[in-house]
């Protein structure tokens, strides 16, 4: 009996009702129409169209979890923790998370303006952006750091941008290459890594921990949501080389699981800033018409039973960066054309988290060298 019956269909009403019901549960529960569901599947395969910004809801505000490297958002200077007040002039306070994601995404070439509040400075600024096709290379770096930084030791560096389907295999091959080069210790950079697939994160942990090691568990209201996840069997055995994990406010979900497990199990020294605190489990139920329900069923717990959701992972060594330092590090990470000597200079003067991590590794190796003849400095 609605007066303008031609303006709305039963199908649209059902979709709107489903979106309202799911979004009222928590910021991470949502109803996805067929296009949204396809976008989510594309995310796990490392490709999508948009700005390259991962968003969430924090303290009731649409917040940047992390800008992905080599994307319009990162190149424009958007940072983790930035609050999106408006999209194309329209306030975001009434938008659900999926609605916001829908608005942010779009065909390559389309222009969009984000009005951003940066909490650290209270500055409000408009960022004009252009959507592009985003292809995420999940594993980057894969190199030995400059001896000017590491002294007589060979320290490898690997950055995981996101945990996708190919990540674990790519990471394993990268470690193989570094070991062939004589790597003695590793810096694993998970800064601005928004997470991704749980199985991928667990498989990456299998590169550092013995098979069948419990690395994360879930607990929900129903007993069916209580699960334990362990490292896979059959993973190539690697030396127990010293390991540092770098994290920051942009490290979320899967990266928090990896950092939390390695910290709790005393396999790595975690350096940087407290992580985002996105540790809830969403189940996805596909419906016959191609749409899907995504709803929170449990929370993630580290091996010591610390809850990640809302708390994050606190580093062993806390090293905050100033906004200027953060911008310099982000620019370095997103520019593959910078010469190694120039990169070393930027790291020494701006990337205090990396330097503290390297110092920690050098300390571990010097101690091991003095107590065991098996660890020897590399002769230059």
C-alpha–C-alpha distance, residues 17 and 206, integer Å: 42
Per-residue pLDDT at 27: 77
Extents of the domains making up the chain = 5-135, 139-281+298-371
Q: What is the pLDDT of residues 307-359, one digit of tens each?
A: 999 999 999 999 999 888 888 887 777 665 556 667 788 788 889 999 999 99
Q: What is the enclosing helix (H) or strand (E) of 140?
A: strand 139-144
C-alpha–C-alpha distance, residues 268 and 248, integer Å: 16
Task: Domain 5-135: give its CATH architecture.
Answer: Roll (2.30)
Per-residue pLDDT at 379: 46
Contacts 24+ apart (CB under 8 A), 44-47: 44/164, 44/165, 44/196, 44/197, 45/164, 45/165, 46/135, 46/136, 46/137, 46/138, 46/162, 46/164, 46/165, 46/166, 47/133, 47/134, 47/135, 47/136
Question: Which residues participate in catalysis according to the annotation?
Answer: 253, 264, 278
Indicate if 139-281+298-371 has the same CATH topology as 5-135.
no
Quick one: how many helices (H) and strands (E) in the chain?
11, 19
Least confident span in 94-98, 123-127, 138-142, 370-374: 370-374
Compute and round to an integer the Cα radius of gyration of the chain: 22
Q: How many percent of the chain have pLDDT more than 90?
A: 56
Handedness of CA 95, 97, 98, 102 (dihedral sign): positive
123 contacts 347 by C-beta, under 8 angstroms: no
Q: What is the pLDDT of residues 44-54, one digit of tens each?
A: 556 678 898 88
Integer CA distances (angstroms), 319 to 188, 276, 301, in order? 16, 15, 24
Reply yes or no on whether the pLDDT at 297 is more than 90.
no
Cα angle, residue 225 at apex, residues 222 and 228 outer, rounded to 5° = 140
Residue spans of alpha helices (H) in the chain: 10-23, 34-44, 72-76, 97-104, 147-150, 167-180, 198-205, 254-264, 323-333, 340-350, 352-371
| Token pair recorded at residue 183 | 């790597």
In this structure, the strands spanning 214-220 and 185-189 are unpaired
Pick the CATH number of 139-281+298-371 from 3.90.226.10, 3.30.360.10, 3.40.50.720, 3.30.1330.10: 3.90.226.10
255 contacts 272 by C-beta, under 8 angstroms: no
């Amino acid at each position: 009996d609605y007066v303008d019956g031609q303006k709305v269909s039963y199908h649209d009403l059902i979709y709107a009702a489903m979106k309202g019901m799911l979004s009222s549960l928590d910021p991470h529960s949502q109803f996805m129409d067929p296009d949204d569901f396809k976008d989510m599947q594309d995310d796990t395969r490392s490709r999508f169209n948009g700005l390259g910004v991962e968003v969430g809801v924090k303290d009731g505000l649409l917040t940047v979890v992390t800008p992905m490297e080599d994307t319009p958002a990162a190149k424009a200077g958007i940072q983790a923790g930035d609050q999106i007040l408006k999209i194309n002039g329209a306030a975001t306070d009434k938008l659900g998370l999926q609605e916001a994601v829908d608005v942010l995404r779009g065909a390559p070439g389309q222009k969009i303006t984000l009005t951003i509040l940066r909490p650290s400075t209270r500055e409000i600024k408009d960022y004009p952006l252009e959507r592009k096709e985003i292809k995420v290379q999940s594993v980057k770096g894969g190199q030995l750091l400059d001896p000017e930084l590491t002294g007589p030791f060979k320290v490898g560096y690997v950055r995981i941008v996101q945990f996708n389907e190919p990540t674990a295999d790519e990471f394993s091959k990268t470690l193989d290459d570094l070991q062939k080069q004589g790597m003695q210790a590793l810096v694993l950079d998970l800064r601005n890594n928004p997470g991704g697939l749980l199985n991928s994160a667990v498989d990456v942990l299998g590169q550092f921990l013995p098979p069948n090691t419990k690395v994360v568990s879930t607990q929900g209201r129903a007993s069916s949501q209580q699960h334990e996840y362990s490292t896979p069997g059959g993973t190539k055995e690697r030396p127990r080389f010293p390991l540092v994990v770098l994290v920051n406010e942009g490290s979320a979900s899967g990266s928090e699981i990896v950092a939390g497990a390695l910290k709790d199990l005393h396999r790595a020294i975690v350096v940087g800033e407290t992580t985002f605190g996105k540790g809830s489990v969403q189940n996805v139920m596909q419906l016959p018409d191609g749409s899907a329900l995504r709803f929170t069923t449990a929370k993630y717990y580290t091996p010591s039973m610390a809850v990640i959701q809302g708390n994050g992972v606190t580093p062993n060594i806390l090293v905050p960066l100033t906004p200027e330092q953060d911008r310099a590090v982000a620019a370095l990470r997103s520019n593959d054309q910078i010469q190694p000597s120039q990169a070393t200079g930027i790291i020494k003067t701006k990337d205090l988290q990396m330097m503290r991590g390297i110092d920690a590794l050098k300390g571990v190796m010097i101690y091991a060298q003095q107590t065991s003849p098996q660890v020897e400095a590399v002769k230059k």
